[in-house]
Structure 1
């Protein structure tokens, strides 16, 4: 670890924590869905990540540094939009052309959420009902 990396690690560690070394790294985010294979195909087309595995119960996409897993859940219930405080998280995806990316996601099966709360992002709902955002890539540096 370089001196700069050590300094950065120290500035983001929790107060009172002696060892700033990470305990683990994020390997994969997993979404619940009514049909893992179908949602896997949707996100494969959106992200351009290959489907590494898919069956009726589970799908996994491999990205450049992380993976996206999708599990079929019986009696799946999608989160609400607008958020009523029960949505646990959502994906923020960066795109160079916000409107073109949002339009392509809609062609692939997403829908535009209502209301739209911002100007530098578009909230969409994936085919399984998960809200996600297409954001302006310039916002991420």
Structure 2
């Protein structure tokens, strides 16, 4: 099947992102962490081939976030390794949010490239994410 229309050229695409997926050694723990951070809860689980739950979904502002359990997951060695992507979050009170996220299991690495503009934390799986104050 061709993506070209003979009279008008390429057919324009208008896809939308429906899901952001992340892997961790413990998908449920990571889903619970982000659900709490974002003020929601895990809304659905998905079984693996053996019938046990291996994926955990939560929804925020119409987007689904899916957290998979993977025994072979390895956290990135950041900042030595570049990241394929990361998430940024904003909070009205960034200091209070940082404190709460650390209580929930995040850690704060020594490397902080954002200066006064953002703070890097590592989620419970070791994946970096950034927090900002609401502008």
TM-score, normalised via structure 1 length: 0.77
Q: Which structure has more RCO (C-alpha within 8 Å, separation ≥ 6)?
A: 2
Cα drift, residue 19 of structure 1: 7.8
Map of 2:129 onto structure 1: 132
For residues 60 and 124 of structure 1, the distance between their equivalents in structure 2, rounded to whole angstroms, comes to 22
Task: Give the total of aligned pairs.
Answer: 120
In the alignment, does 2:89 pair up with 1:75?
no
| Structure with higher helix content | 1
Provide structure 2 residue ranges, at least 5 long, that are not aligned to the other structure. 1-8, 47-52
Moved over 6 A (4+): none
Map of 1:11 onto structure 2: none
Deviations 1:21-40 (A, max 9, x none): 65211111100110111111
Cα drift, residue 131 of structure 1: 0.3
CA 1:120–1:53 in 2, change beyond 3 Å: closer, same or farther?
Answer: same
Cα drift, residue 20 of structure 1: 9.8
For residues 28 and 45 of structure 2, the distance between their equivalents in structure 1, rounded to whole angstroms, comes to 6
Report if the CA contact (8 A) 1:36-1:54 is conserved: no
Of 103, 118, 125, which aligns to 1:107?
103
| Structure with higher strand content | 2
Cα drift, residue 83 of structure 1: 4.5
